[in-house]
Amino acid sequence: MAKNRSNPVPQHGQAGATAARANRFYIEGLQFHHQGELEKAAAAYEQVLRLVPKHAEALHHIGIIAFQEGNYELATGFLRAALAQNPAMAGVHCDLGNALKELKQFKEALQSYERAIALQPNDADAHYNRGVTLHAMGRFEDAAASYEQALALNPGDPQACNNLGVVLKELKRYQEALASYDQALALFPDYQEAYNNRGNTLREMGQFQAAIECFDRALGLNPRFADAHVNRGVALQGLTRSQDALDCYDRALRLNPDLAEAYHNRAIALHELERWEPSLEDSQRAIRLRPNYAEAYAWLAETLQEMHQYEAAAKSYDVALRLGHATAELHERRGAALKELKRFDDALDGLDQALALKDYVNGHLNRGNILLELNRLEEALAAYERAIALQPELANPYSNRALVLGELERDEEALASFETAIERDPSLGLAYWNRALFRLRRGDLLEGWRDYEWRWQVPTLGVFKEKRSFAEPLWLGDAPLAGKTILLYAEQGLGDSLQMIRYVERVAALGARIVLEIQAPLQALVAGLPGVAAIVTRGSELPAFDYQCPLMSLPLAFKTELATIPAAQRYLAADAARVAAWEATLGPKTGLRVGLVWSGSTVHKGDHQRSIALAEFAALMPAGCELVSLQKEVREADQAVLDSLPQVRHFGPELKDMSDTAALCDTMDVIVAVDTSVAHLAAALGKPVWILLPTIADWRWLREGSTSPWYPSVRLYRQPVMGDWNPVLAAVKSDLAVLAA
């Protein structure tokens, strides 16, 4: 605090006697204060004020005691009273600034320091404290200027050197920051905070090992320096040593169990180790300790997003934004969560906010991805091209651009863009995957299957979480199978398995004994396939086999082209007894019997495009038809509508597996379905199936046409404008009326 520079009060008569007594108490108070006996010092100053209520120095020093005891509000009252008596006391202005700074009243604190400096321009402490306040206000350039002025007046102040280094780091003036820390350490070689801050600067520069050495120096001086343990952990994470980082955070928490930063950074390390639940718990602990911890909310959201809890993730991102953590990356990640919730317009707003803060590649890439979901192809193309303009050496933007060019049927440009992506990064699985979808949709099957094998290299797709690891070799048609046992296994959804199960008969025709690993709901349905010696579920013990092949690789193994697709009218059969049971349940037909499927699984990536709300789907139902729901599950939003449609019979709870659904399908005259596994099932049974397709249909339905090379009994109804099912439903209703006549 400011030094006392006052003279004793002049003594005149009785007033002089009072003043003399006041001065004795004041000097006594100064002595006690100097000795650290604050209670006795305060009592002495109070005696002064009883005698001379406007004694400026006593008011000043009792204000200092209130500050020292942490009672900052009381301190400001005394210090303001002192200044009311003598506004020319520079030290009191400085001390008032210190109290206001502790109360986070930074603007008022700054005014106090500036008054102190106006009265005493060469007061290094006032310049230093002004710098601290400006730093807290985020005015780093001004803070640096104040610290530099303090050092010009007092070059031997290591704390000013250290603090100057901190603001220079914030300004990304890293070399100057390091020089400031070095100056602080030259003045005070055991300055643990300077080593810690020097380490933080090196870490931010990406010099993680050098940073760790600084943290080790700080911890050598003070092994109980919890912040240094935390910062050392962050540097270890920079070296991808997340497990070692956890040890640092644990040490910090043993020293200070209430250290929110330790829990926050521990959560990040656990996130990097894909230990989602513990990461979630540590983020929540950090938030409990510091309810306004914006960064902790942001990482909580990241972890929730990895756990596919997108609604909760979006809410956590919103809290982080409200608390001021409005980075471009956070807006981008929030947009990704909203995209998963199919809130595409909101997601697009988030990406626009991200790009308003920073013009960067990932922002444009993700904006393009959302625009692609919305079928706003020209805008998506512009977004990808902006990403390319920013970093033309990157591969991803070319791959995404090629996908859009393919949707626009600018095929040669699309292929050239894929080639550029692969030239930029020959290991980019996403480029091969996107090219596979492009080639398959345009009917270039053989090349498409070759690219499709890259699916295992694209973990972000979510469908292919891991490639199965077997000692037995992968069979892709290049080895004789006569007398051999081959494992054929499902890898994707029920519809994919139903489509590719047609190849089992062809594998058996090569003389192979087949072990079929398939989803449990399909087991009874495929039990009679020729050549299948054993059927197992994933996780069951496998019998011995010589080769293995995933079902989705069988088209490549047989070099399938459009003209050679095994397209039998019917390659699966429903159980006759179950069909008879359903016939009995349904009773005599009263009209054209129509099976209905209006929605698929909500977790399907394209569900927002393929599924139709039942209230809208009901528009296709003509009078005079017998309507049967083939849905096993009905969404909550559709249930009330279904309850209001007595003409639609629903048997969801009775459909135990796909064999039950197959038998019910077999009793239908025609099935009208969106693109789900039931559509594949009915087509594999050879039933007439009318499939309603969104504007951007799945690769297996090709780009155009009303028939399918995979299923002779299928008729395709294509949506002309994205999101508008009315023309499709009207066409189906008209065709049903003709069929029912």
- pLDDT tens for 696-739 read 899 999 999 999 999 999 999 999 988 899 999 999 999 999 99
Q: Does residue 1 have a pLDDT over 60?
A: no
Higher pLDDT, 495 or 609: 495
Task: Give the model's pLDDT for residue 698.
Answer: 93
What 3-state DSSP class applies to 199? helix
Reported as a single tens digit per residue, the pLDDT across 509-564 is 999 999 999 999 999 999 989 889 999 998 889 999 999 999 999 999 999 999 99
Q: Does residue 460 have a pLDDT over 90?
A: no
Higher pLDDT, 392 or 652: 392
Task: Give the model's pLDDT for residue 116.
Answer: 92
The encoded tokens of residue 46 equal 């109070």
What 3-state DSSP class applies to 546? coil
Task: Give the model's pLDDT for residue 56.
Answer: 87
Once rounded to an integer, what is the mean pLDDT over residues 114-128?
Answer: 94
The torsion of the CA quartet 702, 708, 711, 715, rounded to 10 degrees, works out to: 120
Task: Give the model's pLDDT for residue 8.
Answer: 36
The encoded tokens of residue 290 equal 């510091």
Once rounded to an integer, what is the mean pLDDT over residues 633-641?
Answer: 88
Q: Does residue 464 have a pLDDT over 80?
A: no
- State how far the Cα of 338 lies from the Cα of 348, in Å rounded to an integer: 9
Q: Does residue 7 have a pLDDT over 50?
A: no
Over its C-alpha atoms, the chain yields an Rg (Å, rounded) of 37
Reported as a single tens digit per residue, the pLDDT across 473-518 is 999 999 999 999 999 999 988 999 999 999 999 999 999 999 999 9
Average pLDDT of the chain is 92
Reported as a single tens digit per residue, the pLDDT across 275-328 is 999 999 999 999 999 999 999 999 999 999 999 999 999 999 999 999 988 899
Say yes or no: domain 576-740 is CATH 3.40.50.2000.
yes
Reported as a single tens digit per residue, the pLDDT across 179-213 is 999 999 999 999 999 999 999 999 999 999 999 99
CB within 8 A of 570, min separation 6: which ones? 684, 685, 686, 713
Task: Give the model's pLDDT for residue 9.
Answer: 36
Cα 381 vs. chain centroid, distance in angstroms? 24
Domain boundaries, the chain: 26-240, 468-558, 576-740
For the four alpha carbons of 106, 107, 113 and 117, in that order, the dihedral sign comes to positive
Once rounded to an integer, what is the mean pLDDT over residues 155-164?
Answer: 96
Q: For 132-168, b where at least 16 C-beta lie within 10 A, e where not — what string?
A: bbbbeeebbebbbbbbebbbebeeebbbbbbbbbbbb
SS3 content of the chain, % helix, strand, coil (to 5): 60, 5, 30
- State how far the Cα of 711 lies from the Cα of 250, in Å rounded to an integer: 60
DSSP 488: E
Q: Does residue 227 have a pLDDT over 70?
A: yes
Reported as a single tens digit per residue, the pLDDT across 337-361 is 999 898 999 999 999 999 999 999 9
pLDDT band at 461 (very low <50, low <70, confident <90, very high): low
468-558 and 576-740 in the same fold: yes
Once rounded to an integer, what is the mean pLDDT over residues 31-35?
Answer: 89
Once rounded to an integer, what is the mean pLDDT over residues 166-176?
Answer: 97
CATH topology for 468-558 is: Rossmann fold (3.40.50)
% of the chain exceeding 70 in pLDDT: 97
Reported as a single tens digit per residue, the pLDDT across 253-263 is 999 999 999 99
% of the chain exceeding 90 in pLDDT: 78
Task: Give the model's pLDDT for residue 13.
Answer: 43
Once rounded to an integer, what is the mean pLDDT over residues 96-111?
Answer: 92
Task: Give the model's pLDDT for residue 741.
Answer: 80
Task: Give the model's pLDDT for residue 3.
Answer: 34
Q: Does residue 606 have a pLDDT over 80?
A: no
Q: Does residue 48 have a pLDDT over 80?
A: yes
The encoded tokens of residue 138 equal 């985020």
Which class is 26-240 in CATH? Answer: mainly alpha
